[in-house]
Structure 1
């Protein structure tokens, strides 16, 4: 018998001073049986740091991710169905990223885990030509601390100022500063 996904609910209060974005979001997330709390919380973080200020070009939504190899973790489609944002969490290979860059205006990757430096060293040259790709590394200690905030029902406050991010619930707070491994050079 196959294991079923577990449903998580998250109430996010986002105050992103770097983007002048202040919003509340109610999220329902399906945690794949093979997914860890750390990866789940990285998806929540990716949402908070990528959600647009308005829905004029479509909504940012959780896609099938682990359940479907043809879909990212999150995506934003405009009203015509064209992909505006393709967002990955983890350490995908260069072929997956190249395919995503060909399909979407912007591809954003949030890498985490202690193996990121080794993975990035092997991947960096292969993705250098992908102008619409940006890659961020979340420090291992921070991604692990975020996992400690995971609960079936979460109320999280996410504050962003000058590149520093604070994620907190009623009991604890996690501070992190993602490292830019690759900046996006242009948009299509």
Structure 2
């Protein structure tokens, strides 16, 4: 954990009907001083929406070698490379070469994020998915985050229903392939 990081705890009830994933999770997320609340919320949502055995937060902002969220198999090999925000094309290229699956979750305008990668070399870009949420959704959720959080995440037909510390929010999950 980076010096000066603030630890946020999320007690999560996850019900992802689309993927048949039902879990109760206790997640600790260290928020680096340079990390925005929007980035933190997007990182936690990506963790929930990608949840599977072997998922973990990386050192994130503290290292350029790994994405914010990754999945490793039992041998330690990276099987999913999950970026947050608007990563550089070089990071996506590297992640796509190292992992079976690469995804980006963004709190930004997806059209602007996609434009950053136009004409850039990205390995198997057609396999990379960019996920985003309705305008204002991440901002509203970030305003509700405290040090200790109760979070219910429900997904059905690519629609996200979120209850965070007693407040309900919802958003479509928008997905486009880079290719």
Fold conserved between structures, TM > 0.5: yes
Instruction: Report how far residue 119 of structure 1 moved.
Output: 2.9
What's the Cα RMSD here? Answer: 1.9
**SS of the residue 2:67 aligns to:** coil
1:95 is aligned to 2:60:
no
Q: Which residue of 103, 108, 112 corresponds with 1:108? A: 103
Identify the residue that residue 155 of structure 1 maps to in structure 2: 150
1:169 is aligned to 2:164:
yes
TM norm structure 2:
0.91
CA contact under 8 A between 2:93 and 2:123: conserved in structure 1? Answer: no
Give the number of aligned pairs.
Answer: 177
Moved over 3 A (4+): 124-129
Identify the residue that residue 112 of structure 2 maps to in structure 1: 118
Q: Distance in 2 between matches of 1:93 and 1:175?
A: 29
Give unmatched runs, 5+ long, in structure 1. none
Structure 2 CA distance for partners of 1:163 and 1:144, relative to 1, 3 Å:
same
1:141 is aligned to 2:120:
no
TM norm structure 1:
0.87
Structure 2 CA distance for partners of 1:7 and 1:170, relative to 1, 3 Å:
closer
Give unmatched runs, 5+ long, in structure 2. none
CA contact under 8 A between 1:113 and 1:143: conserved in structure 2? Answer: no
Q: Which moved more, 1:133-142 or 1:26-35?
A: 133-142
Structure 2 CA distance for partners of 1:175 and 1:81, relative to 1, 3 Å:
same
Instruction: Report how far residue 179 of structure 1 moved.
Output: 1.4
Identify the residue that residue 15 of structure 1 maps to in structure 2: 15
Q: Distance in 2 between matches of 1:8 and 1:124?
A: 36
Q: Deviations over 1:24-82 (max 9, x none)?
A: 11001100000111111111100110001xx3xxx100001111011110111111111
